[in-house]
Structure 1
Amino acid sequence: MDTVARVKKSLRTPIRKLTKCVSRVKERKLYPRCRIRRRRSRGGAGKGGCNRSGRTPQTPPRTSHPKDPPIIFSYQADLEKERKLREAMNAQKNAERAAMRAHFRKKYQLSESPKDTNHLRSVGGRVSLPHELSKIIHPETKTKDGGFNLLSAFQGLSFGTTTLPGRNHSKTSAPPTPATYRRTHLVWTMRSMNIHVTVGVRARGPCGSRNMLGGVAPQRGLCVTAAGTVAHGKLEGGKGAESTGVGKKGIDGGVRRFEEIPHTGRSGWVNLVKFWREDRFRQLHKHMERTFNALGPIYREHLGTHSSVNIMLPSDIAELFRSEGLHPRRMTLQPWATHRETRQHSKGVFLKNGEEWRADRLLLNKEVMMSAAVRRFLPLLDEVAMDFCRMLRRKVEREGRGEEGKRSLTMDPSPDLFRFALEASCHVIYGERIGLFSSSPSLESQKFIWAVERMLATTPPLLYLPPRLLLHIGAPLWTQHASAWDHIFTHAEARIQRGYQRLFQTRGSEAGAAGGQYTGVLGQLMEKGQLSLDLIKANVTELMAGGVDTTAVPLQFALFELGRNPEVQERVRQQVRASWAQAGGDLQKALQGAPLLKGTIKETLRLYPVGTTVQRYPIKDIVLQNYHIPAGTMVQACLYPLGRSADVFEDPLRFDPGRWGSSREEGQKGEGAGAFRSLAFGFGARQCVGRRIAENEMQLLLMHILLSFHLSVSSSEDIKTTCTLILQPETPPRITFSQL
């Protein structure tokens, strides 16, 4: 062991000398022009860098200043230039992006971003955009013949040299050499085209045109780009700068990305707060109309937990419905679904999706949608409509003014119309009358109407919030909503029990088979037994809840429009009289012989759609307005802007039932006129399940009213509307009923 230690100790000094020599060789290779000086110790140093004692002298640490050779200064200066150039290029790119964002923020009236403002300020507030970005902001103007006029393009051409604003150029930089980056900018301003064309001479490398930082001799190349200028987020440059429209085509002429669809704001929660603060939920239909006017026929909207793409043109709606699939989906009303789950109720077809929905819907269609079913329940609806007119006639004779037989009464008909809708729905669905036209209607029925109104009013705010969270904290809004649904279900359960008892008694006496009396939708479903009692209860309750306001409110609008358009009213009345006389008591024939009557309902729902949107989730990727829409995206057809659009209807604010005639559809624009323009009841397999009941109910009541009364209004001003879950008047219109 001692021998090994002595050997290691004897080799320690030579190894140190060898290490120092090797280090010095590396330094000489790295700095060939530099004469390396070392301080010698008091005893002096040998050529090998070691003193006489064999130890390496202690040298102070090296510093880059001020004794470094000139080559190091040159190298560091080049690195500094490259760094500054990279920073300038990055600042320019950030400013370009900030300018684009600032442009669209201003276009869509969004708040400014401090970060974007700083990016623009870092380049002096002026940015020269590349050609592909400039085309988005400055769509190229075309001549009247749609072609490109080269002569007019070069009229007023001014030629000059300048540097692009927004790029930093050092005044103290070294003169250009083959190893440095060079760029010359020439700007041609074509006044007739209202665009700026930037001509840049770039350094070319072996792999094509690119910016060279040094080391490679450049080759001259010409790069021409159309550059729109944005200064502090504002467009500059003639008429082209004033244009804010975004073309449908992408940069390469193809389909544009989903993210490029115009939108009302990226933050759903910020948008939701704005909606509440500005009370936009009550004017949702007007908000949609204003947004379409500002952004075009398609836009995206985020509200709380919901995100949708909104459209309004029939061609886009047709494309949407073509991709709905075998099991169409629409937006689930989550507050309703949460109520069913927490109360352990079954869900009806309104809240179901997929194969389960289809199986139940096919069974319901046989009782509420098929022609045979319509023939069965038409007499029940007609009975209620005639009773309503008799009640109204007694009221006019008792409270009206004028001579006997010609009395008139001005009144708000909405309470009576709500009672009519509930009475008609109960008669068709439950097969029984509840006596709402008597002098003292039951308090139970009034409570049911109140519960339906409260349920509809509390649904929209709950759509965009997590219902489970509101349930957990006991929010008053959720409590009101759940209580309204509880009362609706209690009312339905009582009616269902009575219907079951009647069915049991009928089976015992076998009177039903002998007499063939229609027992209503509930009785038919129970008799066939294809649906469980829980599913029957769920679907019947949904039919009742959705069959009152959605019928009574359109009737208010229809009476108002007929009252302020006496010429239209008279044309419809004459047609109804002729049809009623020829039908000989056949209700279906009487309705079919008066197409203007059905046109009145369609025209009313065009101007005042009950539901403001129809939603679908496409099962495949589609293209709308040349924007890519991924499968599974909720797309909403907005009915209020559709019905009042001059691009879809001629003179859209004119009330004209004749535009829906079968032989001609007057006043409509576009190819395939009439298609996807009337969607108040939806479309296809997922249209409103109570559509046939509602349509015939409204037509029969209008028919009997027009045969008995002349309608007029004191003011022809438009009705102010508000939106709960359905569209309704802020103040119910007052109608004057005059005996004929």
Structure 2
Amino acid sequence: MQSKTATTTAIPEEEEKIADAKPFSEIPGPKLYPIIGNLLTLIKNNGYHQKRPHLLYSSYRQKYGPIFRDKIVNMKLLFVTTPEDFATVFKAEGKYPDRGPTMPWIVYREQRKKAKGVLIGKGEEWRKSRSVMDKKLLKMKDVSAYSGRMNEVISDLISHIKRKQIEDNLNGELSNLQNAIYKWSFETINSVLFSKRLGAFNDPPTPIAEKFYKSVCSVLNITGNLVLMPPFYKYFKTKQWKEYCSYWDTLFEIGGKLIDEERNRLLSSGLDLSKKLESNHRTEDMEFLPYVLSRGELSDEEITGNVIELMGGGVDTSANTIMWVLYILGKNPDIQEKLYQEVSSVLKNGQFPDSQSVQKMPYLKGVIKESERLYPVLIATSRILAQDVVLSGYHVPAETRVYMMMHLAARDESIFDEATKIKPERWIRSSSSQRKRNPFSFIPFGFGPRMCIGRRIAELEMEILIARLISEFRIDCRNEKEVGVTFRLVASPDQDIRIAFQQRN
């Protein structure tokens, strides 16, 4: 197994640039203290910048320019903020792209001797998992087949909204909208991964759904507290770390049980899982988990590790994007009305949207993209360089972990016209701004072989959900103050987004 990024010499066109480049040591950055580096900046004022790193790095961008360095204890960090540098980094990511470790996830797996999957695996381990998972998660034909199931979950969400409106009695507002949207995301991704509904919207929720849901939310919350800090938990088993591991244990226990149930169902149906079916045309019609089991290339531990990672990666990201979309629609009645007119022109007589109908809704896609641009759930994506490159005029050596600050690029007036203004039409292909923009200026799902494996699922589930909600309700945002961003594992609203749903009919 390859445990670190394979490095090569610089690509030929870079060699001449490197000779003329400024040395790495001259890259600017904040003053660092011995041993702890810039740790105090993160943790002072009750961890203000630990919760809002985008504000800290925005100030560094203004002070130091498009490239800057930082260090937290022994973690060396390099940040770039231009699409041109993003493109160079992706070009130098090598055969086995490496984002660098998400340490809390890695340490848990290593301590419990669990397999790593497509999100945190490296080298051949990552490649093997990715080659199996890709086939059913990134092909639009396979993803399109989940439209019906996605609509079933949305129907349950809409029923939940209507029931909660009566219970909460807040003139159409839900007291805990975030919980409802998280349950939608949780139930949707699991209906895809496990080929069944788990029952998060049952009243009351099924015991397995309730336990699974609580555990994944707890893992995501605690990861957000740990991920920007040095991995002291690797050596000191605090109460928080023990709780964190117990939630992971529950995810693996329930995930393993659901996989075993599906395996037994397939065996009882007469399918011989001891024979690989990779070349058999029957695999084309299989759902995700039966397909993975039938391939026979991953052990049960590897399958469980991958499925749990996919679920964890899918819940937080889609749910928070939807919260921001609702915030945008609720604060911009003109955008909401334009979107309603588009959706109504495509969907007739109560028709539900699917993968084909949303392709006729460019404004819908533009609204979601504006949310992903201005409120990206991932403020940066990273790569460990496989070779030496030049970034913003500086020689950056192989093995450097580089953070591409998508949040800063998205608000750069030199990249986006009226960068802080919400303009869904900027994403419609006929617009002049769409034609002239650098393609690396907007990469919400990453790029290349390590692009987000759940991209197609996420895009479709969000498009269908917003089309359904805008058809059913008028959306009113009741937040009086502007909602800002706080960092957990992903960038989230820093206060409850207060949405009132008013029935259209």
* Same fold, TM-score > 0.5, yes or no: yes
CA distance in 1 between counterparts of 2:95 and 2:432 reads: 30
CA distance in 2 between counterparts of 1:585 and 1:715 reads: 30
Q: Does the CA contact (< 8 Å) of 1:425 and 1:547 recur in 2? A: yes
CA distance in 2 between counterparts of 1:336 and 1:410 reads: 33
Distance 1:693 1:584, change over 3 A: same
Q: Does the CA contact (< 8 Å) of 1:333 and 1:351 recur in 2? A: yes
Query: Given the two structures, how large is their TM-score scaled by the length of structure 1?
Result: 0.60
| Alignment partner, residue 220 of structure 1 | none
Q: Does the CA contact (< 8 Å) of 2:195 and 2:288 recur in 1? A: yes
- Compare 471-480 and 284-293 and name the one that shifted more: 471-480
CA distance in 2 between counterparts of 1:339 and 1:587 reads: 39
| Alignment partner, residue 298 of structure 1 | 67
| Alignment partner, residue 257 of structure 1 | 23
CA distance in 2 between counterparts of 1:506 and 1:477 reads: 44
Post-superposition CA distance 1:584-624 (Å, at most 9, x none): 76722211000111222211111111122100122222111
Q: Does the CA contact (< 8 Å) of 2:353 and 2:467 recur in 1? A: no
Letter in 2 for 1:725: L
Letter in 2 for 1:382: N
| Alignment partner, residue 16 of structure 2 | none
CA distance in 2 between counterparts of 1:466 and 1:285 reads: 19
CA distance in 1 between counterparts of 2:136 and 2:461 reads: 16
**What's the CA shift for 1:717?**
3.5
Q: 1:694 aligns with which of 449, 455, 458?
A: 458
| Alignment partner, residue 114 of structure 2 | 345
Pairing 1:367-406 to 2, within 5 Å after superposition: 367-396=136-165
CA distance in 2 between counterparts of 1:582 and 1:641 reads: 43
Letter in 1 for 2:386: I
**What's the CA shift for 1:398?**
7.0
Question: Is 1:549–2:291 an aligned residue pair?
Answer: no
CA distance in 2 between counterparts of 1:608 and 1:642 reads: 12
| Alignment partner, residue 483 of structure 2 | 719
**What's the CA shift for 1:549?**
1.6
Letter in 2 for 1:703: A
Contiguous gaps of at least 5 residues in structure 1? 1-252, 402-406
Q: Does the CA contact (< 8 Å) of 1:305 and 1:465 recur in 2? A: no
| Alignment partner, residue 359 of structure 2 | 592
CA distance in 1 between counterparts of 2:284 and 2:197 reads: 15
Q: Does the CA contact (< 8 Å) of 2:225 and 2:488 recur in 1? A: no
CA distance in 1 between counterparts of 2:180 and 2:74 reads: 39
CA distance in 2 between counterparts of 1:716 and 1:519 reads: 49
Q: Percent identity?
A: 30
CA distance in 1 between counterparts of 2:412 and 2:460 reads: 28
CA distance in 2 between counterparts of 1:416 and 1:391 reads: 8
Question: Is 1:623–2:387 an aligned residue pair?
Answer: no
**What's the CA shift for 1:429?**
0.5
Letter in 1 for 2:140: S
Query: Given the two structures, how large is their TM-score scaled by the length of structure 2?
Result: 0.87
Question: Is 1:422–2:186 an aligned residue pair?
Answer: yes
**What's the CA shift for 1:291?**
1.2
CA distance in 2 between counterparts of 1:525 and 1:444 reads: 23
Question: Is 1:287–2:287 an aligned residue pair?
Answer: no
CA distance in 2 between counterparts of 1:586 and 1:722 reads: 33
Q: 1:493 aligns with which of 256, 267, 274?
A: 256
Q: Does the CA contact (< 8 Å) of 1:377 and 1:520 recur in 2? A: no
Provide the secondary structure at the position in 1 that maps to 2:256.
helix
CA distance in 1 between counterparts of 2:165 and 2:227 reads: 43
Letter in 2 for 1:492: G
CA distance in 2 between counterparts of 1:713 and 1:680 reads: 25
CA distance in 2 between counterparts of 1:630 and 1:264 reads: 20
**What's the CA shift for 1:689?**
1.3
Q: 2:326 aligns with which of 555, 559, 569?
A: 559
Distance 1:274 1:585, change over 3 A: closer
Q: Does the CA contact (< 8 Å) of 2:178 and 2:323 recur in 1? A: yes
CA distance in 2 between counterparts of 1:509 and 1:255 reads: 59
Question: Is 1:504–2:270 an aligned residue pair?
Answer: no
**What's the CA shift for 1:354?**
2.1
CA distance in 2 between counterparts of 1:730 and 1:459 reads: 17
Letter in 2 for 1:372: K
**What's the CA shift for 1:416?**
0.9
**What's the CA shift for 1:258?**
0.7
Provide the secondary structure at the position in 1 that maps to 2:501.
strand
Q: 2:493 aligns with which of 711, 718, 729?
A: 729
Letter in 2 for 1:433: R
Distance 1:601 1:498, change over 3 A: same
| Alignment partner, residue 169 of structure 1 | none
**What's the CA shift for 1:394?**
4.7
Q: Does the CA contact (< 8 Å) of 2:161 and 2:174 recur in 1? A: no
**What's the CA shift for 1:638?**
1.1
Q: 1:327 aligns with which of 96, 99, 121?
A: 96
| Alignment partner, residue 676 of structure 1 | 440
Distance 1:530 1:586, change over 3 A: farther
Q: Does the CA contact (< 8 Å) of 2:200 and 2:210 recur in 1? A: no
Question: Is 1:532–2:296 an aligned residue pair?
Answer: no
Pairing 1:149-168 to 2, within 5 Å after superposition: none
Provide the secondary structure at the position in 1 that maps to 2:358.
helix
| Alignment partner, residue 12 of structure 2 | none
Pairing 1:23-102 to 2, within 5 Å after superposition: none
Post-superposition CA distance 1:440-494 (Å, at most 9, x none): 1135433433333332333355446664x63443223422332221122122122
CA distance in 2 between counterparts of 1:585 and 1:442 reads: 27
The total of aligned residue pairs comes to 476
**Greater Cα radius of gyration, structure 1 or 2:** 1
Letter in 1 for 2:471: L
CA distance in 2 between counterparts of 1:463 and 1:436 reads: 28
CA distance in 2 between counterparts of 1:547 and 1:647 reads: 32
CA distance in 2 between counterparts of 1:687 and 1:639 reads: 14
Q: Does the CA contact (< 8 Å) of 1:281 and 1:724 recur in 2? A: no
| Alignment partner, residue 195 of structure 2 | 431
Provide the secondary structure at the position in 1 that maps to 2:267.
helix
- Compare 609-618 and 527-536 and name the one that shifted more: 527-536
| Alignment partner, residue 446 of structure 1 | 210
Distance 1:680 1:505, change over 3 A: same
Distance 1:284 1:464, change over 3 A: closer
CA distance in 2 between counterparts of 1:377 and 1:433 reads: 12
**What's the CA shift for 1:552?**
1.2
Q: Does the CA contact (< 8 Å) of 1:615 and 1:635 recur in 2? A: yes
Post-superposition CA distance 1:280-335 (Å, at most 9, x none): 21111111111111111110011122112101111111121122122211111122
| Alignment partner, residue 220 of structure 2 | 456
CA distance in 2 between counterparts of 1:365 and 1:437 reads: 29
Distance 1:621 1:491, change over 3 A: same
**What's the CA shift for 1:395?**
4.4
Provide the secondary structure at the position in 2 that maps to 1:649.
coil
Q: Does the CA contact (< 8 Å) of 1:564 and 1:716 recur in 2? A: no
Q: Does the CA contact (< 8 Å) of 2:317 and 2:490 recur in 1? A: yes
Distance 1:398 1:474, change over 3 A: closer
CA distance in 2 between counterparts of 1:324 and 1:294 reads: 28
| Alignment partner, residue 602 of structure 1 | 369
Q: Which has the higher helix share?
A: 2
Post-superposition CA distance 1:49-78 (Å, at most 9, x none): xxxxxxxxxxxxxxxxxxxxxxxxxxxxxx
Provide the secondary structure at the position in 2 that maps to 1:308.
strand
